[in-house]
Structure 1
């Protein structure tokens, strides 16, 4: 009945030995000791592996700044990677040499390409409605939350029942980008359907308990601090996976949240059916949330707080999407 559905738990760090012998395990251990986010760890490991393979699998101790320059040049010229991608690869290699191996790269002659400013793709309110019309069930509800609250995809998937406050009409985002918590709005129009979703989760959770499961993944050391919390309804994911799988760290069978690829595929199909030609991703609804609030007259500081941006300059890009200046100015000739 239950299978080892690993992809649903690919946001849980796999375990590494306490005294690692393999080079990559040592590197992972070092990143975790330094407090790096799991996504950063995966990204850095990816680029470091590719760097090693590019140099015929030589040990990094045998490589130098010259080899870094060769690889970055290869990415820019042969692979035609964007400046942003080149910058990520460079950051990974700087971490490898400078922070992990203690080798300075002062003689690095590589000249980074200037990053190009890209405006985000946004949908009008009507276009969002067209896509929503092609979605049903949980997929529709999830997209409504992305657009109605401005949360990121991984933040949506990691929502627990306890994070929804129907009295204050708020959603608490735990450990968002930069490992920061924040509070955003809970759309009033979604309260009824969200309560119905929680009732469904409760039934599913009760069935899991009867089958000998019912324990959910707990971040950090909370499982030791609150031993019984893992089976409480409050800690269950709002959008649980359809199957139970094995935790990659402990091997414990449990129900995780829905995998991100499920929603991405549903959004892609809905966009095609709606006839919209824009490149629509799950993150597009977050951009559309911000621009919609600007159109409604909300100030940048408020939008910045809801989005969780550390710098208001990041939020200001949405004024350019609307064809306005940095201060959200409308031309006098266009005023009523």
Structure 2
């Protein structure tokens, strides 16, 4: 009997070895399944560049997916061939990635941001205020741990951000007291759970095995814990995870409607507003780049295109 793990199990093991997120694991495995189904369940080892290109073409032509979705599918297949099947195939580097359209980010004015935030309350207001006040991505805010909020230095340490990079951003003074009050409630809830024999939290990189008591410590708890317990999809452990991002997204959309905002926005828009408003205030672009965690200043430069007036800040003849 062949004891070799199934292809998808090999895929999951390799993804976890590379410390990819659970979201990446799910998405990559789903693309591999769709690729195999598309070619009538042939094994990927029997296929090559023509089959990959046929699959990607079908996504673009028949299914009309976006360039980012097509590139995501390609990334999953490249991971399969390079990391899982360990095939040294020269055609991998010749696969053409779909070109993403160059779109400017949607940005709100300071007044519009305030109007949206005024429609929120409680922890949802605090999360969105942090996104605007610090430039964090939504998942960076939701994965924030108590120990990474430094009130003395007015700093927030963002760990394992995009690209698995750490960085530091400011803690807005206006949010210090609301955040202290929120953390006091979180700490009280944690003490109750400890008394009930629970209170542990997921830790990355096998830290729980190295430090068995760490999952129960206050410092490792999420700043924004979920309302209820859930099952860890990898270990099966029942514990309290962080706040669900979909809840934040739904309530933000509702708040935007309540504020009368007709632009297509999401919580990530607050990160765009953070960068644009800092540049409008005269902040150095290199500093903004560091706060956002961009590897290349060219990525940050996109916000210079949405500063002040439209049309490259040229005064219209109608306004003369």
TM-score of the pair, normalised by structure 1: 0.86
Partner in structure 2 of residue 41 of structure 1:
25
Q: Contact 1:66/1:108 (CA < 8 Å) preserved in 2?
A: no
Which digits, 9 at most, give the CA deviation of each residue in 1:218-256, with x for residues without a partner? Answer: 111211222212111111111111112222233332211
Q: Distance in 2 between matches of 1:224 and 1:170?
A: 29
Is 1:137 matched with 2:122? Answer: yes
Which sections of structure 2, spanning at least 5 residues, go unmatched?
Answer: none
Cα distance change of structure 1 residues 227 and 75 upon mapping to structure 2, 3 Å threshold: same
Stretch of structure 1 that moved more, 88-97 or 141-150: 88-97
Stretch of structure 1 that moved more, 182-191 or 61-70: 61-70
Partner in structure 2 of residue 78 of structure 1:
62
Tell me how large the CA RMSD over aligned residues is: 2.4
Cα distance change of structure 1 residues 279 and 20 upon mapping to structure 2, 3 Å threshold: farther
Which sections of structure 1, spanning at least 5 residues, go unmatched?
Answer: 1-18
Q: Contact 1:148/1:289 (CA < 8 Å) preserved in 2?
A: yes
Partner in structure 1 of residue 301 of structure 2:
316
TM-score of the pair, normalised by structure 2: 0.90
Partner in structure 1 of residue 221 of structure 2:
236
Q: Distance in 2 between matches of 1:217 and 1:107?
A: 36
Q: Distance in 2 between matches of 1:59 and 1:313?
A: 41
SS of residue matched to 1:175 = coil
Partner in structure 2 of residue 120 of structure 1:
105
Q: Contact 1:52/1:60 (CA < 8 Å) preserved in 2?
A: yes
Q: Contact 2:158/2:169 (CA < 8 Å) preserved in 1?
A: yes
Deviation at 1:34, TM superposition (A): 4.1
Stretch of structure 1 that moved more, 211-220 or 301-310: 211-220
Partner in structure 1 of residue 254 of structure 2:
269
Deviation at 1:81, TM superposition (A): 1.8
Which digits, 9 at most, give the CA deviation of each residue in 1:267-309, with x for residues without a partner? Answer: 0111111111111111111111000100110011000110111
Which digits, 9 at most, give the CA deviation of each residue in 1:113-146, with x for residues without a partner? Answer: 4332111111111111111111111111110000
Q: Contact 1:214/1:231 (CA < 8 Å) preserved in 2?
A: yes
Q: Distance in 2 between matches of 1:108 and 1:316?
A: 29
Of the two structures, which has the highest relative contact order with CA contacts closer than 8 Å and spacing of 6 or more?
1
SS of residue matched to 1:242 = strand
Deviation at 1:330, TM superposition (A): 6.6
Deviation at 1:47, TM superposition (A): 1.8
Q: Distance in 2 between matches of 1:169 and 1:237?
A: 19
Cα distance change of structure 1 residues 34 and 221 upon mapping to structure 2, 3 Å threshold: closer
Cα distance change of structure 1 residues 331 and 276 upon mapping to structure 2, 3 Å threshold: closer
